[in-house]
Chains A and B, each alone.
Chain A
Amino acid sequence: MTMTMGTVDESQRTLYPYVTGSSVVAIKFKDGILMAADMGGSYGSTLRYKNIERLKPIGKHSLLGASGEISDFQEILRYLDELILYDNMWDDGNSLGPKEVHNYLTRVMYNRRNKFNPLWNSLILGGVKNGQKYLGTVNMIGINYEDNHVATGLGNHLARPILREEWHEDLTFEEGVKLLEKCMRVLLYRDRSAVNKIQISKITEEGATVFPPFSLKTYWEFAAFKNPTAGAEGSW
Chain B
Amino acid sequence: MFRNQYDTDVTTWSPAGRLFQVEYAMEAVKQGSAAIGLRSKTHVVLACVNKTNSELASHQKKIFKVDEHIGVAIAGLTADGRVLSRYMRSECINYSYTYESPLPVGRLVVQLADKAQVCTQRSWKRPYGVGLLVAGLDESGAHLYYNCPSGNYFEYQAFAIGSRSQAAKTYLERRFDNFNSSSREELIKDALIATRESLQGEKLRSSVCTIAVIGVGEPFHILDQETVQKLIDEFEIVKEDDVPPAEPQPEGEQDAAADQGAGADQGGGDAAASEGAAPMDI
Chain B 69-101 interface 0/1 with A at a Cβ cutoff of 8 Å (1 = within) = 000000000000000000000000000011111
Shortest distance between the CB of A127 and any CB in chain B (Å): 13
Q: In the bound complex, how far is the Cα of B138 from the Cα of A90, in angstroms?
A: 15
Q: Point out the residue from A94, A96, A97, A100 that lies within 8 Å of B138, measured CB to CB.
A: A94
Of all chain B residues, which has the CB nearest A101?
B99
We find that the number of chain A residues with CB closer than 8 angstroms to chain B is 12
Which A residues are CB-close (under 8 A) to B110?
90
Give the CA-CA distance A130 to B106 in the complex, in Å: 20
Q: Which residues of A contact B104 (CB under 8 A)?
A: 92, 94
Q: What is the bound-complex CA distance between A27 and B107, given in angstroms? A: 34
Asked if A202 lies at the interface with its beta carbon under 8 angstroms from chain B, I say no
Decide: A103 and B107 in contact? CB cutoff 8 A.
Answer: no
User: Are A104 and B140 interface neighbours, CB within 8 A?
Assistant: no
Instruction: Give the CA-CA distance A107 to B95 in the complex, in Å.
Output: 12
Which residue of A has the minimal Cβ distance to B100? Answer: A103
| Residue A54 lies at the interface, judged by CB distance under 8 Å to chain B | no
- A90 to B140, Cβ gap below 8 A? no
Instruction: Say yes or no for B139: interface residue by CB 8 A criterion.
Output: yes
A103 to B98, CA, bound (A): 6
Contact partners of B97 in chain A: CB under 8 A: 107
A104 and B107 in contact (CB under 8 A), knowing A94-B138, A94-B139? no
> A93 touches which one: B98, B101, B140 (CB < 8 A)?
B140
Point out the residues of chain B lying under 8 angstroms from A104, CB to CB. Answer: 98-99
Inter-subunit contact B99/A96 (CB<8 Å): yes
B107 contacts which chain A residues (CB < 8 A)? Answer: 90, 92, 94
Q: Are B106 and A100 in contact (CB under 8 A)?
A: no
- CB of B140 within 8 A of CB of A100, answer no
> Nearest chain-A residue to B139 (Cβ)?
A94
Contacts of A92 in B (CB 8 A): 104, 106-107
Q: Do B100 and A100 touch across chains, with their CB atoms under 8 A apart?
A: yes
Among A63-112, those with CB < 8 Å from B are 90, 92-94, 96-97, 99-100, 103-104, 107
**Hey, which chain B residues are within 8 Å of A107, CB to CB?**
97-98
Given the complex, which residues of B lie within 8 Å of A103, measured CB to CB?
A: 98-101
Are A99 and B101 within 8 A (Cβ)?
Answer: yes
User: In the complex the two chains form, what is the Cα distance from A5 to B139 in whole Å?
Assistant: 51
User: Which chain B positions have C-beta within 8 A of A97?
Assistant: 101
Interface positions of B from 189 to 235, Cβ below 8 Å from A: none
Chain A residues, Cβ within 8 Å of B138:
94
Within residues 138 to 165 of chain B, which ones have a CB less than 8 A from any CB in chain A? Answer: 138-140
Give the residues in chain A near B98, CB-CB below 8 Å: 103-104, 107
Identify the closest chain B residue to A95 (Cβ): B139
Bound together, the chains give a CA A94 to CA B110 distance in angstroms of 14
Nearest B-chain residue to A102, judged by Cβ: B100
| Nearest B-chain residue to A103, judged by Cβ | B100
B100 close to A99 (CB less than 8 A): yes
Could you tell me if B140 and A94 are in contact, using CB atoms closer than 8 angstroms? yes
- Please, which residues of chain B bring their CB within 8 A of the CB of A100? 99-101
Bound CA–CA A130/B138 (angstroms): 13
25 A–B pairs (Cβ distance < 8 Å), ordered by A: A90-B106, A90-B107, A90-B110, A92-B104, A92-B106, A92-B107, A93-B140, A94-B106, A94-B107, A94-B138, A94-B139, A94-B140, A96-B99, A97-B101, A99-B100, A100-B99, A100-B100, A100-B101, A103-B99, A103-B101, A104-B98, A104-B99, A107-B97, A107-B98, A130-B139
Given A92-B104, A94-B106, 4 additional A-B pairs, CB 8 A: A90-B106, A94-B104, A94-B138, A99-B99
5 smallest A-B Cβ distances: which pairs? A100-B99, A103-B100, A94-B104, A92-B106, A103-B99
